[in-house]
Structure 1
Amino acid sequence: MTPTTTRHWVLSQKSVGRPVISGSNSIFQLITKPIPPLESSDVLLKVLYFSNDPAQRLWIHANISPARLYTTPVEVGETMRSYSSIAEVVESKSELLQVGDLVSCGTGWCEYAVVPAAECMVLPKIPNVSPTHFSGVFGVAGVTAYYGLVDTVQVGPNDAVVISGAAGAVGSAAVQIAKHVLGCKKVVGIAGTDEKCRWVESLGADVCLNYKSEGFQEALARATEPFVEVYFDNVGGEVLDLMLKRLAKDGRVAACGAMADYNTHGEGRKGIMNWYDVIAMRLSIRGLVVTDATPARWAEITNALIQGYGEGKIKLTEEGQTIVEARFEDVPKTWMRLFDGQSMGKLLTKLV
């Protein structure tokens, strides 16, 4: 029987600092809404998995002006947005999609969603490959990594590359792409535990350094001797500041994320101390927003990633996905794992 209502997590207030998700000050509110009727070319989707991404924090940040955000922010009263949910078509008024098709699209935090069929990507069926990888290595994470390395900073075989957040969804994909697809001469990962570092090395990094360990700065200097050509930055903060001193003349930075600063406020931010190195070394720092990629380019990159998997250059490992089974009531709680270092690879919420 087709449902007539669906629950949503909506934004109740924007915030700075660490998001509060429970009690009277919670930034999210659970409500029930009627499911709207399908128009021509619409489909009704049942959400199976939510993609959890650090960028979602920016869309609800109280101190970021819409004029300085790369996308439309989530406003108070709106359903919390999400990238690349995995969903099943349960009703269709489109010739593009049939009931039972599995698709990837943006649904927001709701159990059921009505969306135009043209906004959905039918998931290819690859033997022994879970559809969840189309929210990770073959989805927004892998495309971001590839687009950042190739289109943003033009990485090639003559480059040594450092990748921070290397055990995350984008970082772990970037390690494999840099080493095995692009053939970089050296790949250095940075992660937050020894366990994560060993996994990053198993993906192809020549070495991975634990930024929380004693002697990290000295180890980073040794690993980047004499200097490196490219830094793929997922974290910003102190690690970015350190890397400005480890880049060679004409070095390039792909600025993908600033995880270190997303939940800090005021005095919690240290700022950049080594800006002189940008001048002296003629460094190029370029922001990376994957939605700048055209649909055609996105398709090209997805095909290249699938081809890399078929050629054995890209691994789909158990550690590459953290899939958390959760009731719909616990969707915000699972999302918060992004900020606690509790996951490796792509963090997905599986609705149960």
Structure 2
Amino acid sequence: MSSLPTKSRQWVLANHPEGLPTYGQSDSAFNLKTVDLPSLQDGQILVQTLYLSNDPAQRGWISPPSQIDPKRLYVPPVKLGDPMRARGLAKVLASKANDYAEGDIIQGTVNWVEYAVVDVKDPMVGVRKIQDLPGGLSITHYLGALGSTGLTAYYGFVEVVGAKKGERVVVSGAAGATGSMVIQIAKHIVGASYVVGIAGSDEKCRWVESLGADKCLNYKSKDFEQELKEACGEGVDVYFDNVGGQILDYMLANMSRYGRIAACGAITGYNGEAALPMKNYFNVINYLDRAVETVGKLIGALKEGKIKIGEENETVVDTKFEDVPKTWLRLFEGSNQGKLVTKYV
């Protein structure tokens, strides 16, 4: 790059959305603005955003304070006027920080911006230089299967809910970023005896079964409730819930005695449209304290052939900067298979 950028466009939170967020209008949740970049100081790097992670949890970060107590979120909410928060991958354009050089690719909280000056030691940014992945896999998997969603899948299933070998498992949102990893971890790493996935189309169900599910059910089927009851048999030991709503209600009637439920997400209700809305869902706190160790386990499982990671595990969308919110909103349409990733073009 012949000259370094001095300005950056960014999508900022303009209003707390009550329902489905909108963008680009005066009363929208997100507005586009251009800002001056600060000069580079010691310990900082100038980066250009390449890819963005799209996650349902982002919806909770922008909800009105009257709906969610900010103290109950595992990260602070996005403040009005601040760029929309998002994890991503970025290229270092200039550096005044030790161990970082021009051309390095970093992972961190880069937000919905084109360029940014970041402090490499800021814990809220969480900058980490990434390495090439085995088998020529795309680095975008650091945002999905080998990123926060893969960590959530492993930690939530193995550490939090304590899944054990030989147990019967059901996973909702099984064709999504987290659910597709839970399916593989359950069957091929933990050794569950019977794994049922739930997804939104017959095509997605066949893919979920190719990952290791013994059965996958299309929740759009007119006979879904009965099909689910039959699939659960005498009861399920572990239910990994990514969707909440009616499916969670069905599963409560199909758990075995002393069965456990991992409350990972409730995407059907994040914009207020759930059949069984819960006002306090975001009071369920998640946490990770062994992220590096867990990623190492997942890469090890990948090398051993226990889990599959490839193009099918992600939906990468070429996106103009003006359409960044539009791509994120695809999360709530259920159109993606695996991780939904924004690629700047």
- Scaled by the length of structure 2, what TM-score is found? 0.93
Shift of 1:321: 0.8
Question: 8 Å contact 2:199–2:219 — kept in the other structure?
Answer: yes
Correspondence for 1:280: none
Query: In the alignment, is residue 298 of structure 1 matched against residue 291 of structure 2?
Result: yes
In structure 1, how many angstroms separate the alpha carbons of the residues matched to 2:196 and 2:285?
A: 20
In structure 1, the residue matched to 2:147 is: 139
Matched position secondary structure for 1:75:
coil
**What is the match of residue 176 of structure 2?**
168
**Does the CA-based 8 Å contact 1:42-1:115 persist in structure 2?**
yes
CA distance in 1, matches of 2:301, 2:41: 39
Deviations 1:179-232 (A, max 9, x none): 111111111101111111111111111111011101111111111111110010
The aligned counterpart of 1:337 is: 330
Contact 2:72 2:285 in 1 (8 A): no
Is 1:91 equivalent to 2:94 in the alignment?
A: yes
- Mean alpha-carbon deviation: is it higher for 94-103 or for 134-143? 94-103
* CA deviation map 1:257-316 (0-9, x unaligned): 010110116xx54258xxxxxxxxxxxxx9461xx212xx10110000000110011111
Deviation, structure 1 residue 120? 1.3
Whether 2:128 is the aligned partner of 1:121: answer: yes
The code of the aligned residue for 2:320 comes to: R
1:80 lines up with 2:89 in the alignment: no
Question: When the two structures are aligned, how many residues end up with a matched partner?
Answer: 332
Backbone CA RMSD of aligned residues: 1.5
| Equivalent residues of 2:13, 2:30 under 8 A apart | yes
Q: Does 1:270 align with 2:276?
A: yes
Which of 49, 52, 70 pairs up with 1:50? 52
State how far apart, in whole Å, the 2-side matches of 1:175 and 1:321 are. Answer: 15
Q: CA deviation at 1:13?
A: 0.3
Distance 2:337 2:49 in 1: 23
Report the AA paired with residue 240 of structure 1.
Answer: L
What pairs with 1:1-352 in structure 2 (closer than 5 Å)?
A: 1-62=3-64, 63-83=67-87, 85-118=88-121, 119-126=126-133, 127-264=135-272, 269-270=275-276, 287=284, 289=286, 292-294=287-289, 297-352=290-345
Question: For residues 53 and 176 of structure 2, what CA distance do their matches in structure 1 show?
Answer: 13
1:35-93: CA deviations, max 9, x gaps? 1122221111110001000111111112222133232111111110002x011111111
**Alpha carbons 1:152, 1:288 under 8 Å: kept:** no
8 Å contact 1:148–1:288 — kept in the other structure? Answer: no
Find the aligned partners of 2:25 and 2:36 in 1 and give their Cα distance.
26
Q: Is the contact between residue 169 and residue 192 of structure 2 (CA under 8 Å) also seen in structure 1?
A: yes
Counterparts of 1:209 and 1:29 in 2: how far apart (Å)? 39
1:27 & 1:51 partners in 2: Cα distance?
Answer: 19
CA distance in 2, matches of 1:38, 1:241: 52
Deviation by residue 1:302-341 (Cα, 9 ceiling, x = unmatched): 0000001100111113221101101101100111100111
CA distance in 2, matches of 1:165, 1:172: 8
Gaps (5+ residues) in structure 2? none
Q: Which amino acid aligns with 2:75?
A: T
- Residue identity over aligned pairs, in percent, reads 48
In 1, Cα distance between the equivalents of 2:158 and 2:284? 13
For structure 1, which segment, 35-44 or 244-253, has the greater mean C-alpha deviation from structure 2 after superposition?
35-44
For residues 33 and 254 of structure 1, what CA distance do their matches in structure 2 show? 41
